[in-house]
Structure 1
């Protein structure tokens, strides 16, 4: 799920003086289009079987979920790259630090107040997801940018690689919850007796991915051939590391792969079924490895590249609008189909599913295609609006 650092590249100075790195827009746009598939599935076709359960899920269901794992790491990594590119055109590091602080806190508020409302049609609880983690990552990066960039990159890599040596915290006290929000598996805790909080994305590893993107930002200022070679080499190295560590089950992911009694195809699914919450070393080697290869090889050539770059240039606008369409469409559909609105993704505990509901991947893919198509023209309009105006609030949306 998914993500918005493109707004960091707004402002009169940057818009007038900085050439955009086209590959960033295209790959970010691809990640966001795929992200909408997962959210469509959750609202329009949830299943009793977990999609990642290779012992019970179908290949099609597994892959429909698995391919969306590439979205959040790509989104957060490119957010860090955009921070670096923004920083190069600012008069002082202090201005960048202040902007990261305010933008990060704004994203936290946006996650809790707006995105939760869109997801749940109200507030039966609070879900802390990728925008929450990205927001706090920006707050942390507001301080880290005062360090040498090489040190920031080294710290990020060290945490990503060494995170599995850290114990998970039992969030049973206030202090325990605080530490668990930094690094833990997803967990539930009561904010009030009637308002539970599900922390799906804890902060530290995602903040490290953001910092890593910032640290490699200079690569995107290199001449095209040098940038391509460096990104391709880093991507290939990450994928080779993934293959070597995953094959041995030695280190890098808390869930080892195994041969499956359902056959070779499901054994292969087990091999690539790496842990997202929190993102393991192997999860990030796989997803960021692919993202780096795509950044090295794909630009806005052809109709597909230009189409994707339209979404990639206005990521937060896309992110909010796609939830409006998916969630609002599900509200209308369930009202017509079942006689009342029913939130299939966030049904109250014990509510069950409405009579007559059956999951359908065909429905998921059809609605996904319609949503992505409908988003094109609003995103194109907003992209044009941002290019023609310099309002301060454009940097926050």
Structure 2
């Protein structure tokens, strides 16, 4: 079946790649031993392979958020500012609703919603709401706000709140990762404080200028190369100085390998400047390299990159369901894999599989979901007249 689309393939290819990598992280979350009660970046307990498995998935959320801003800009090229603002506001609010209801349900499988987790869908939705107002500003002002939020938010790292006061909860939503009992939920988990994510989406919105029809490809590639290399260089400079740009400094470890791991152990919650530099820099270089490149691999990635929200929700549900099937097959208690207000069961300390099994399950799930993603991609592309598809 033919596909009618004017989408920019290199952007969708990058998005598809990070969506697939994201599935690896979520597979590890539900299948790797100690995943529920351990930390793959803990220098005392991790291994180089485990750390690498976690590190490469760091690219997912930043690229997802950044390209959401880029897509917003491109969507607005043939819309008025009020039309674009209305779309961003309503879609942002819709994503927040999906986070609180559907996303929490498929992550926890708890019908009582005792726990609420603010994750990447929440961050994208809230950032879109903010962007819906910011687009009325001059482009230079929008760019300046994005740079200030991304480069300067680590100045706020020393501000720490405690408790469940209104002021504290607002700060947890904005800049401090936190877990706490919060009515009407037994547990609220603030994984994605939004200040840096707003800045990143704003920068992605400005980045969309490079992909307008009148922008020369040669100049775009030049800027992709400059920005990509500069971001990586700045990361090494900041981490080398070891004073600013990350919540925790790196330190000398038990051997050279682990010292290197410590150097690359950047903070995701909230995403530090160092974290965003080392993830967005290579991503921009990927866009530089993939321009006008097309083969079977890129066609495969395109499918996932054009249906990101569908793939996100479906793959989490499938991974969680497979994990429950696995624990039943091997004689465990499936209730342990239901997230409740008290958190995950302490019985999971002995649960899990090797990284080899994690990778096998990951690849199997990606292949399993490919046909439905492709069908949905074709349906969306050939039904542009259905306005509601733009919200999915």
| Same structural fold, with TM-score higher than 0.5 when normalized by the shorter chain | yes
1:287 aligns with one of 242, 260, 279: 279
Q: 2:289 aligns with which of 285, 297, 300?
A: 297
CA contact 1:188–1:198 (8 Å) conserved in 2: yes
Counterpart residue number, 1:4: none
Q: Deviations over 1:285-304 (max 9, x none)?
A: 11111111111111452211
> Structure 1 CA distance, aligned partners of 2:70 and 2:180?
34
* Equivalence for 1:54: 43
**1:202-254 deviation digits (Å, cap 9, x = unpaired):** 11110110000001211122222211111111010010000111111121112
C-alpha distance 171-94 of structure 1, shift in aligned 2 (>3 A)? farther
Give the structure-1-normalised TM-score.
0.91
Offset at residue 277 of structure 1 (A): 0.7
Residue 361 of structure 1: aligned partner:
355
- C-alpha change, 1:124 and 1:240, in structure 2 (3 Å) is same
Secondary structure, aligned partner of 1:189: strand
**Stretch of structure 1 that moved more, 351-360 or 140-149:** 351-360
Cross-structure match for 2:334:
341
Structure 1 pair 241–350 and aligned structure 2 pair: CA distance change class (3 A): closer
SS of corresponding position for 1:56: coil
Q: TM-score, normalised by structure 2?
A: 0.92
Q: Is 1:106–2:100 an aligned residue pair?
A: no
Counting only pairs closer than 5 Å after superposition, residues 1-397 of structure 1 correspond to structure 2 as: 19-47=6-34, 48-90=37-79, 92-122=80-110, 123-166=113-156, 167-172=158-163, 173-184=165-176, 186-192=177-183, 195-221=186-212, 222-261=215-254, 263-299=255-291, 300-344=293-337, 346=339, 348-349=342-343, 351-353=345-347, 357-389=351-383, 390-397=385-392
Mapped to 2, the partners of 1:198 and 1:350 lie a distance apart of: 13
| CA offset digits 1:135-194 (Å, max 9, x no partner) | 00000000000001221111110121111222434143112211331111x112333265
Q: Considering only aligned residues, what root-mean-square deviation do their CA atoms show, in Å?
A: 1.9
Tell me the number of residue pairs that the alignment of Structure 1 and Structure 2 aligns. 379
Structure 2: unaligned runs, 5 residues or longer: none
- Counterparts of 2:240 and 2:344, CA distance in 1: 41
Which ranges in structure 1 are unaligned for 5 or more consecutive residues?
1-14
CA–CA separation in structure 1 for the residues paired with 2:77 and 2:300: 28
Contact 1:97 1:143 in 2 (8 A): yes
Kept in 2: contact 1:331–1:341 (CA 8 A): yes
Taking a change above 3 Å as real, the CA distance of residues 396 and 357 of structure 1, as seen in their structure-2 partners, is same
Deviations 1:2-58 (A, max 9, x none): xxxxxxxxxxxxx97x73221100100000000000100111114154100123211
Deviations 1:54-80 (A, max 9, x none): 232111111111110010001100010
Measured against aligned partners, the alpha-carbon deviations of 1:309-366 in whole angstroms (never above 9, x if no partner) come to 1100111011111112101111222122225314448475583226963431111101
Distance 1:98 1:193 in 2: 30
Match in the other structure for 1:10: none
Q: Measured at CA, do residues 355 and 89 of structure 1 come closer, stay the same or move farther in structure 2, by a change above 3 Å? A: closer
**Cα distance 1:110–1:355, how it changes in 2: closer, same or farther (>3 A)?**
closer
- 2:13–2:298 Cα contact (<8 Å) kept: yes
Displacement of 1:195 in angstroms is 2.3
